[in-house]
Chains A and B, each alone.
Chain A
Amino acid sequence: MSATTAKPGAPVAAWLRALLPLVLALAIGAVILALLGRDPVLFYTNVLNRAVLNRSGLQETLVLMAPLLLIAASLIVCFRAGLWNLGVDGQFLLAACFASAFAAGWVAALPYWPAMLLLFGLAALVGAAWAMLPAFLKAQYGVNEIISTLMMNFLGFGLSAFLIKTLFGDPEHPAPQTTMLEVADRLPRIGDTLIHLGVVFAVAVILAVHVVMTRTAFGLKLRIVGHNPRAAEHAGLNVRRLTFLVFAISAALAGLAGAVEVLGVRGVVRADWHPGYGLLVVPLVFLARFHGVAAIGFVFVFAVLSIGGESAARRADLPNDFLLIMMSLILVILAVTDYVASRAGR
């Protein structure tokens, strides 16, 4: 049998289907650059030089990956279980806000590592708590979780800004923000690099999530619910309980992402800060087809484009929006190649 009739699930085809949109998008981006009178080769070289080939640039890229990887892990858990938790941004921000509010105080009052562990635990808890209402509505009444989690985002953004302006605000600082965690008290860095322990933690977590989802009984139960909830009921799985668990785990991971960002890099949350990582990572996770290792690769590419693209755009005298166009192109092309592949695979 020829290669073209190979099963669509074959590893080579899967890699090709995942990478092809990326390559095509870069090619189309190159054409746009050329039409704008910029040198595409120079542009991409600048991106790579800034974000990968340059020592401090590469470190920045890796540091940016930490929260993105944890959010990817969060999304992989719920997407594989067929639950669309799009509330990761709210869970992330609220958890970051709580972790930041207590960070300086707890680090001062407790030994360093117990304080850090407690802060991570708090962030996970706050994230999970913020998903319980959508989880309940889904499990009890079948309310569409896409709507309910998106709504919870707005509430989460508002609540965290409110808390920072009232309870959690640093009275000694003129602008509304939490108390700064001193640089020395942030997550330890590896050697003399910018790379903090949170990066290692994030990679370990997404790999662990991948193993759990693909190799364990728990992961299989979630996948059964995701693929066919009626079969799950029929097979005797407690779908309600699993729904709660999935929301809790997914949102806790989003909360951990918030903790890593605040305790590792920022040290503070301002009332107007919300990075909106979640909805950026959603397409990357789809591009990776919910595969943890592949997600690391796509998050890396995204981080490279963010870090390197900003400077490359500036040098090419293009607005930053050009990067958004590139990312959108990748997604559109992903959808098209998916459609073409499924037509051809039939």
Chain B
Amino acid sequence: MPEGTGAATTEADRRLDSPLVRLSGITRRFPGVLANNDVSFDIRPGEVHALLGENGAGKSTLIAILSGVLQPDAGRIEVGGRRVRIGSPRDAIRLGIGTVYQHSTLVPTLTVVQNLMLGQRWWRPLGRAAALARLEEVSALLGVRVEPDALAGTLSLGQQQQVEIIKALWRGERVLVLDEPTSMLTPQGVEELGQVIARLAAQGFGIVFVSHKLQEVLAFGHRVTVLKLGRKVGEIPPERLSALSPAAATAEIVDLMFGRGASDAAAPRRRRSSIRPSAPLLEVEGLSAGNGALADVTFAIRPGEVFGIAGVDGNGQKQLAEALAGQLPADAGRITLGGQDITTLSVARRRALGLSYLTDDRLGEGTVGSFSIGTNLVLKRVGERPFWEAGFERPARITDHAREMIASYDVRTPGPEVPIANLSGGNVQKALFGRELAQAPKLFITNKPTYGLDVANIRAARDRISAAAADGVACLLISTELDELLELSDRVGVMYRGRLVGVVENGPDAERAIGRLMVSGA
């Protein structure tokens, strides 16, 4: 190699091109699971590196390692070319890696600037004036405007996320890790986030974007890495990704995620209607609940019918589900199930009459995370035979039942005794589908049944709903995914600010009609 300038240039080039962070051969075991198996992953300046994979593929583990929450069992982490150990989230921040987690870490009762000033060292306090200046500086980097004295809890989810990003870059971090950042956002919020990401990348930040939504990955990512069962199964570098058409890129990524030929499974189809020509099973008249969160809602569902509820998240859908299930008392109106007035009945009485409710909050209220899968599968039947005799538990019967459900609902788990919180979201959802459908309900209410699931599990969930309807179950499908509603529903009602502002017969023009009602309420 020549002396002098030549060597210097090579050195400079290498520095320019060298990754900000390099993970190589990362392996992390959990009891019974190899969550990351020899994974390598680079974060380069100016590049958005999308990390894609099914639920349980190991994305969260890799992010946790990157942000210092977990430590790898084997492998090497380099930051700026030097080998480091990221022993704690504080180490990660010191090394310039800022992370925005899936769920908000802001204190809702503090203002934006107070939130940002949290966590500073007591021996090096930052005054309010300096904090405001820093906020100005970082929000300029992002190209957003944030009201410093607004209470964090009063901001929209999109704005909260902007504050989270500012917080992640507060100490001059050059690497930004975004863990499923779009899962809580409205379509408009997603678009704004895309602009922020593009702007940061243009200024040389290294960005990791975790998602299981293909369109977003293709829209925001420069480089794509696909994980499957803890292994890295493929990486598409920027030059190749930009050369591919969106359709070709989609097909290639789906093949990586699910194996060859799986891309067909993701294709939409329209369910054949199975409405029974009988009286409505569920009749809701003028239902109001939650102090106006749900206002004067009227509709009916016949056996075998799928009635969809569309709407931007937070327009009363959850209150509707809870009022029907009996978790939220009705302020006014009437609910009739199979001719019987159930408006004032308890959750358990309604369930006994054939009402089944699959909640969208799987870990928060659907399950007890530290309890076994077996126990969670009978959580709504505690004390019932044959699992309990005279009040005493029959563990063998609960285990046998769990084995059957695990097999027939394809729950991937080492066994029925595993705490359900150890399963991936898709597998928890399969278990819950089993719990809610196995007892042949008459009315099946489900809220966002495919939220957070990967393509294969989305397919499985939708097929379950189709099958239930074909068996004559009246289904109420609440969803924010329009393609899901259009695939499964016979009719779609649209909720806007707590009211049911319209019901659309599913058909060729339904999508436009629903979309208009969703955003304008008319």
**A interface vs B, CB < 8 Å?**
1, 5-7, 215-218, 220-221, 223-224, 227-228, 230-231, 233-238, 346
Nearest chain B CB to A202's CB is how many angstroms away?
Answer: 23
Chain B interfacial positions (CB closer than 8 Å to A): 29, 31, 70, 325-327, 346-348, 350-351, 357, 359, 361, 364-371, 375, 379-380, 382-383, 388, 391-393
Let me know if A234 and B366 touch, CB within 8 A.
yes
8 contacts between A and B (CB under 8 A): A1-B31, A217-B382, A227-B371, A228-B365, A231-B379, A233-B327, A234-B365, A235-B379
Most buried by A among B348, B367, B382, B388: B382
Tell me, in angstroms, the Cα distance from A223 to B382 when the chains sit together: 11
- Looking at the assembled complex, report how far the CB atom of A248 sits from the nearest CB atom of chain B, in whole angstroms: 18
Contact A231 B393 (CB under 8 A): no
Q: Across the interface, which residues of B come within 8 angstroms of A238, CB to CB?
A: 346, 348
Which listed residue, B31, B347, B368, B393, touches A233 by the CB 8 Å rule? B347
Tell whether, in the assembled complex, residue B359 and residue A234 are in contact, meaning their CB atoms are under 8 Å apart. yes
Residues of chain A contacted by B367 (CB below 8 angstroms): 228, 231
Contacts A221-B382, A227-B368, A228-B367 known; 13 new A-B pairs at CB < 8 A: A216-B388, A217-B391, A217-B393, A220-B393, A223-B368, A230-B364, A231-B364, A233-B327, A233-B365, A234-B357, A234-B366, A237-B348, A238-B348
Most buried by B among A216, A217, A224, A233: A217
With A and B bound together, what is the CA distance between A233 and B379 in angstroms? 11
Q: Which B residues lie within 8 Å of A231 (CB)?
A: 364-368, 379
Q: Is the CB of B392 within 8 A of A236?
A: no
Q: Is the CB of A216 within 8 A of B366?
A: no
Structural contact, B368 and A236, CB atoms closer than 8 A: no
**CB-CB < 8 A to B327: which residues of A?**
233-234
Chain A: CB-nearest residue to B389 = A217
Main SS of chain A's interface residues? helix
Taking CB as reference atom, which chain B residue is nearest A1? B31
Residue among B29, B369, B375, B379 with the highest chain A CB neighbour number at 10 A:
B379
A216, B346: Cβ atoms closer than 8 Å? no
Interface pair B392/A215, CB less than 8 Å apart: yes
Question: Least Cβ distance of A246 to chain B in Å?
Answer: 15
Min distance, Cβ B76 to any Cβ of chain A, angstroms = 21
Minimum CB distance partner of A9 in chain B = B419
A221 and B347 form a contact (CB under 8 A): no
- Determine the chain B residues whose CB is within 8 A of the CB of A215 once the complex forms: 392-393
For B29, the chain A residues whose CB sits under 8 A away are 5
Contacts of A1 in B (CB 8 A): 31
Is A236 within 8 A of B391, CB to CB? no
Task: Establish whether residues B368 and A217, one from each chain, have CB atoms under 8 Å apart when the complex forms.
Answer: no
C-alpha gap A318/B344 in the complex (Å): 67
For residue A184, give the distance in angstroms from its CB to the closest CB of chain B: 41
Report the Cα distance A235→B393, complex, angstroms: 18
Q: Which residues of B contact A230 (CB under 8 A)?
A: 361, 364-365
Residue among A216, A227, A228 making CB contact with B393, cutoff 8 Å:
A216
For A7, list chain B residues within 8 Å (CB): 31
Write the chain B residue with the least CB distance to A218. B391
Q: Please tell me if the beta carbons of B346 and A236 are within 8 angstroms of each other in the complex.
A: yes
Nearest A residue (CB) for B380: A235
Interchain CB contact (< 8 A) of A237 among B361, B382, B388:
B382
The interface residues of chain A lying within 8 Å CB-to-CB of B375 are 220
State the Cβ distance, B223 to closest chain A Cβ, in Å. 30
Cα(A216)–Cα(B350), bound, Å: 24
What distance in Å separates the Cβ of A220 from its nearest Cβ neighbour in chain B?
5
Partner of B368 from A5, A216, A228, A346 at Cβ < 8 Å = A228
Q: Are A5 and B31 in contact (CB under 8 A)?
A: yes
CB distance from A90 to the nearest CB of B (A): 31
A180-B366 Cα distance, complex, nearest whole Å: 56
In the bound complex, residues from chain A placing their C-beta under 8 Å from that of B350 are: 236
Complex interface: chain B residues within 8 A of A221 (CB): 382-383
Q: Which residues of A contact B388 (CB under 8 A)?
A: 216-217
Compute how far the CA of A221 lies from the CA of B364 in the bound complex, rounded to whole angstroms.
17
Closest A residue to B71 using CB positions: A346
Q: Which of B357, B365, B369, B380 counts the most chain A CB atoms within 10 A?
A: B365
CA distance A282 to B367 in the complex (A): 29
A224 and B382 form a contact (CB under 8 A)? yes
Q: Are A216 and B391 in contact (CB under 8 A)?
A: yes
Cβ of B392: which chain A residues have Cβ within 8 Å of it? 215-217
Query: With A and B bound together, what is the CA distance between A221 and B368 in angstroms?
Result: 11
A223 to B372: give the CA distance in the assembly, Å: 13
- CB distance A224 to B368 under 8 Å? yes
How distant is the Cα of A1 from the Cα of B32 in the complex, in angstroms? 9
